[in-house]
Structure 1
Amino acid sequence: MAYRYAAGMFILMMFTALLTACWDKTEMNELALVSMVGVDIDPDSGKKTVYYQIINPLSGTSARGTPGGEQAPVYTYEISGSSFGEIKSTIYKMLPRKLFIAHSKILLVSRRAARQGVRDIVNFIEMQPNGRSSVPMLIIDGPISQVMKTFTPLERVPSDAIDSRLKLLIRNSLLTGKHIKVNDVIERMEKSDTIVLPMIAGTTEKPSSNSGETAADIDANQNNFIIGGGAVFRDYRMVGKLNDAQLVWYHLLNGDRGRHVRRFQVEGKQVSVELRLVRMKRDVYRQSDQPVVRIRLDLELSTTWANEFVPRSRAEVERLESNLNRIIEDESLAFYQMTRERGWDLLRIRDLLRKQTPNHPYIDQAAKNAKVTIEVATRLLRTGSMNQPYEGTG
């Protein structure tokens, strides 16, 4: 009996030795939780600057007049160095907590850094043990320091404001798409694709250094920034820019399904029409030894927002659909011609030819010489609740 007891105790002690414990735990109050990262590179000196926007856990938790009251929701730390590795070490000259970037939601890159190339930046993120490559990357069209030190209305944490705006834009517009994360950039760049990333314009006014001042200001356009325009990337380098009107055709021709209201001139009248992509089909055939890429778009239309014009008969509906078919075909084809002249394969013609004609000996040359046709079929499904806009008596 004593032998069994001793054997049991020995086995129990052996299993106890294998149990893990929190011997290397880090308390929350020892971590600096990064919500947003900004990167800038001086093209002349090569000096790299990283901005870490860190959440202040004391903000909003203390009553006015007590320690922690009236504090900023985030603090932005700016650190420079000759390399990203040097910055990782020297950040602790001013940061009293362990840097923790796995919590970050947004990566911002200055326009001048993007024009030099973002390969080193994405490599730096990928190589870090707790780095996040599943966060959106945006380009700053203006001083990055100003954006990193700007409070945003409604959302206390700027990274939350940007993240929420991106999600709303994806659902309610054709101004940005889903594939804008760092890992998407890496995947597309390694395939030699050309992509577009959203941009943030500089702040409209000098940023306030006090979050309370921003909260007390009713004008949300002041001390705020706006997402607008798109940065064109090829081989990890920014090579151009698209405006908002061009972004609509870029995302539509790449199959994004957000709803977007656009104003068209139809038969001399301005008509606001909401577009939504229902179906897109792309195929390739040969014509006189030249590859022809045919893009077919089926669009759902709504004139709910068209207070300027309400179709009152089936004939007017069909005429509106026919006119919009032609206008959208012409404008989207003009967009493709513009990208072709600049050498931007934004419609991924080369990738399509590689999939549908894998035995073609000169894919790159074929993509440059391919003829592209765009066919649009629209269908008006929703109108407003009024039969005719008010016109007055005068």
Structure 2
Amino acid sequence: MDVKRILQAAAVAGIVLLLTGCWNSRELNELAIVSGIGIDLAPGGDEYKVTFQLVNPSSTATSTAASTGQPSIVAVTATDRTLFGALRQASKKATRQLFFAHTQLVVLGESLSRSGINNVFDIFERSHELRLNSAVLIAHNSDAASILKILTPVESLPSMGMVKKTQNTSRVWGENRLVQVFDIINGITGEGDLTINGVYIKGDPEEGMNKSNLDQSNTKTVINMNGLGVFRKGKLIYWIKDADARGTQWLLNKIEETVVNVDADDKKESVAVNIFYSKTSVKVELRDGLPVFHVNIREEGIVNETDSYIDLSKREEIIKLQKNLQQQTESEVKQAFKTAQQSESDIFNFGNELKRNRPEEWALLDKEWGHLFAQGKLDLQVEAYIRSTGMSLKPYIPPDQ
């Protein structure tokens, strides 16, 4: 009987130990949710100035009560020699403990980017809260703090709005792509250079920080996407925009969808072709000690608009458009390649491709790859197909009007 009671007591004790609850739990009303992080160099250049974009719960909560009139976010800035130190320093200004599990965005100031970002992301790999899938943007001609303080229309959380803006322009325009912390760490540890999306403030930054900026249909101060920043050895060296940026995305096989205006017989760039499929394959070989980059791009599109008279019921007209589409794509890709060669910047992962397939040869070229890349030859083949002309074959405007 005593043995039975002892066993029962031991079982109860074991169950009690398993029912200790969440020992490290934190109440929601004790947390400040960080939606975005901005990292700049502090004056003097030996410390980080870190800005945390915090969700203002009294403004974003769903309620039938009257609005508080407060902005949706609050910005808290702290300075320290390390990012983790700045995180802890922020406790002197924030009324709640910072919570990073929902951080959507990391913005890097241009001065920090030009001085080097290699050491910035160490804390993201070590921390159990900071997210490796947070989007990363570079502030163009600005600091990260100013970017995170701008209030945005439509999206109540500016960081979420900027992430969605990046996703949208990546999906339908093609000059940008979503770059996450994990991608940058891989780029820093890989071969060649890397590119990161840029954003800039259009308008007066001081006005953009006020809620009155949103009290009008045409917001005067907004944040726009602004091409790609090119990094070498972790340092921002130059910017690429427009056709150079889209040509880069083509070579990186990152085009999801884009629009190309191609020439018709009677007018330049008068036919809008929506590219809905694009696939790029790359092979790198060495000839006489110099690299040759074999690039094949296959793309398919739909005619969405014509600003000239063109009879799309005729096969020969479709073939002409396909040829013009091919030439336009080739032009943008070659321009992007030429720009990169002028700066000896392999931003297309060609070095990684050679290292993966021919590691022995790569070992001999590693230290002078930038110089060899600049002397390399591009063997470009573009296959362009128009799969549909939309709901109409002929324009409703006669050719004589």
Q: TM-score scaled by structure 2?
A: 0.88
Deviation at 1:139, TM superposition (A): 0.4
Q: 1:294 corresponds to which residue?
A: 294
Deviation at 1:209, TM superposition (A): 4.5
Deviation at 1:224, TM superposition (A): 1.5
Q: Would you say the 8 A contact 2:244–2:335 is kept in 1?
A: no
Distance in 2, Cα, partners of 1:52 & 1:326: 46
Distance change (3 Å), C-alpha of 1:26 and 1:226 = same
Q: Tell me the alpha carbon deviations over residues 85-113 of structure 1, each in whole angstroms, 9 at most, x when there is no partner.
A: 44233212211111112221000011111
Task: Report how many aligned residue pairs link the two structures.
Answer: 389
1:162-241 paired onto structure 2 within 5 Å: 162-178=162-178, 180-205=179-204, 206-211=206-211, 213-220=212-219, 222-241=220-239
Distance change (3 Å), C-alpha of 1:11 and 1:111 = same
- Of 379, 386, 401, which aligns to 1:373? 379
Q: Tell me the alpha carbon deviations over residues 191-249 of structure 1, each in whole angstroms, 9 at most, x when there is no partner.
A: 133111111111323434443x34431103x2211112111112211111111221111
**Helix, strand or coil: the match of 1:58?**
helix
* 2:397 counterpart of 1:390: yes
Distance in 2, Cα, partners of 1:127 & 1:5: 48
**Helix, strand or coil: the match of 1:119?**
coil
Q: 1:14 corresponds to which residue?
A: 14
Q: 2:121 corresponds to which residue?
A: 122
Distance change (3 Å), C-alpha of 1:80 and 1:382 = same
Distance change (3 Å), C-alpha of 1:266 and 1:295 = farther
1:1-394 paired onto structure 2 within 5 Å: 1=1, 3-42=3-42, 44-61=44-61, 62=63, 69-144=68-143, 145-178=145-178, 180-205=179-204, 206-211=206-211, 213-220=212-219, 222-267=220-265, 268-271=267-270, 272-285=272-285, 287=287, 290-308=290-308, 310-312=310-312, 313-360=314-361, 362-364=364-366, 365=368, 367-368=372-373, 369-386=375-392, 387-390=394-397
Distance in 2, Cα, partners of 1:288 & 1:6: 83
Deviation at 1:7, TM superposition (A): 2.5
Q: Tell me the alpha carbon deviations over residues 235-278 of structure 1, each in whole angstroms, 9 at most, x when there is no partner.
A: 21111111122111111111123111122345552232222444
Q: Would you say the 8 A contact 1:266–1:324 is kept in 2?
A: no
Distance change (3 Å), C-alpha of 1:300 and 1:393 = closer
Of residues 304-313 and 182-191 in structure 1, the stretch that sits farther from structure 2 once superposed is 304-313
Deviation at 1:59, TM superposition (A): 1.2
Is there any run of 5+ residues in structure 2 with no aligned partner, and where?
Answer: none
Distance change (3 Å), C-alpha of 1:23 and 1:357 = closer
Distance change (3 Å), C-alpha of 1:336 and 1:304 = same
**Helix, strand or coil: the match of 1:380?**
strand
Q: Would you say the 8 A contact 1:117–1:236 is kept in 2?
A: yes
Q: Would you say the 8 A contact 1:147–1:203 is kept in 2?
A: no
Q: Tell me the alpha carbon deviations over residues 132-181 of structure 1, each in whole angstroms, 9 at most, x when there is no partner.
A: 22211100113333322211111101111112112222221212224x11
Distance in 1, Cα, partners of 2:297 & 2:247: 12
- The letter of the residue matching 1:236 is G
Distance in 2, Cα, partners of 1:183 & 1:52: 20
Distance in 2, Cα, partners of 1:78 & 1:203: 23
Distance in 2, Cα, partners of 1:294 & 1:147: 40
Q: Would you say the 8 A contact 2:200–2:224 is kept in 1?
A: yes
Distance in 1, Cα, partners of 2:185 & 2:43: 23
**Root-mean-square deviation over aligned CA pairs:** 2.5
Is there any run of 5+ residues in structure 1 with no aligned partner, and where?
Answer: none
Of residues 153-162 and 1-10 in structure 1, the stretch that sits farther from structure 2 once superposed is 1-10
Distance in 2, Cα, partners of 1:43 & 1:245: 36
Deviation at 1:58, TM superposition (A): 1.4
Deviation at 1:125, TM superposition (A): 3.2
**Helix, strand or coil: the match of 1:304?**
strand
Deviation at 1:119, TM superposition (A): 2.0
Deviation at 1:29, TM superposition (A): 1.0
Distance in 2, Cα, partners of 1:30 & 1:169: 37
Distance change (3 Å), C-alpha of 1:329 and 1:309 = farther
Percentage identity across paired residues of the two chains: 19
Distance in 2, Cα, partners of 1:320 & 1:343: 34
**Helix, strand or coil: the match of 2:347?**
coil
Q: Would you say the 8 A contact 2:309–2:398 is kept in 1?
A: no
